[in-house]
Amino acid sequence: MKRHFLSIVTVAGLVLGAGCSKKNDTPPAETTPPAETAKPTETTKPPEAKEDAVTPPPAKADAAEANAEDPLAAPDDVAAPPADAEKTATGLASKVLTPGTGTEHPAKRDTVKVHYTGWTKDGKRFDSSVARGEPTEFPLNAVIPGWTEGLQLMVVGEKRRFWIPANLAYGETPRRPGAPSGQLTFDVELLGIEKAPTIPAPEDVAAAPADATKTESGLSYKVLTKGEGGDHPKATDRVTVHYSGWTTDGELFDSSVLRGSPATFPLNGVIPGWTEGVQLMSVGDKFRFWIPGNMAYGDTPKRPGAPAGTLVFDVELIKIN
């Protein structure tokens, strides 16, 4: 099955490249020339209106009838969430259209299989897997924040409508060419969840234990495995490491170990807690770090999808480049 990648910043990045609906290529109808005006005659009189004649009201588009004819037509409440919609602290609003049959919710790192249709608030459809006739699959942490948050509320078989504010979608002025702007409305049906492999969180993930060392900056660390010793990397060095990272509630958000490939980067090009902490290590060392929010991505990260608050990392220094 093909995977259509919707974009966060980057579906890298609803995972990226959602298709856009095609423009209407139907040529305009020919304009009928105005009828020639009949010459008035002295005997011509306007016909008298019959007493029992009823003037029919002007035709009015029936939204329900239109939706019956086009199942992908914008819903009546596309412009704004109704009063009975649920709203989260981030501003994401949603409403269950069809209850699900499952019991498990997807996690951020899981891959989900969905059918969806998206509209701008003026009712224009910009993307639909339903129209393509093929569901879409993607890792939940690789799409726009509104999707990452929203789909974690769902269970398999559920169909839900989301009203995603611009700051949780592509923004008011999208950087990605062709991306829709402003608030977006999606109908999403969750078809399946593929659980991501994981590494269990350490028992002391919630807080640094009493035997951990704490630096003046607030960084805490503990030596798990001692290497052969030797030089420590400088902030300007490039290092190669294996690592796994968790939030303090035990959720794994990243791991080079699971990817099966060590990461290499300049030590002064990462979060401050890493820049300081890895300089304490020698090749072969494995440390556990408790990095406070102000030395990580912050308590309210500006980068979409970044983990918030104190983060816990197990880091093994493989090489100093």
Q: Which domains does the chain have, with CATH numbers?
A: 68-194 (3.10.50.40), 213-320 (3.10.50.40)
pLDDT value at residue 305: 75
Residue 66, Cβ neighbours under 10 Å: how many? 12
Res. 48: pLDDT tops 50: no
Burial group, residue 171, by CB count within 10 angstroms (0-12, 13-18, 19+): middle
Least confident range from 125-129, 155-159, 225-229: namely 225-229
Q: Per-residue confidence at 24, pLDDT binned at 50, 70, 90?
A: very low
Say if residue 170's pLDDT is above 50. yes
Q: What is the mean pLDDT of residues 16-45?
A: 40
Which residues, including other chains, have CB under 8 Å from residue 160's CB and lie 6 or more apart?
94, 95, 96, 97, 150, 153, 154, 187, 188, 190
Query: Catalytic positions, please?
Result: 116, 126-127, 144, 170, 186
**Residue-level pLDDT at 68:** 56
Q: How confident is the model at residue 221 (pLDDT cuts 50, 70, 90)?
A: very high
Q: How confident is the model at residue 144 (pLDDT cuts 50, 70, 90)?
A: very high
Q: How many residues does the chain have?
A: 321
Q: Provide the pLDDT for residue 32.
A: 40
Overall average pLDDT of the 264-283 stretch: 97
Per-residue pLDDT at 132: 96
For range 277-288, the mean pLDDT: 98
In terms of pTM, does the model score above 0.85? no
The answer to whether residue 9 scores a pLDDT higher than 50 is: no
- Give pLDDT tens digits for 122-142: 999 999 999 999 999 999 988
Tell me the residue type at 48: E
Strand (E) or helix (H) holding 146? helix 145-151
Q: Read off the pLDDT of residues 97-125 as tens digits, 9 standing for 90 and up.
A: 999 999 999 998 899 999 999 999 999 99
DSSP secondary structure, 168-237, as one string: GTT-SS-SSTT---S-EEEEEEEEEEEPPP--PPPTTTTS--TTSEE-TTS-EEEEEE-----PPPPTTS
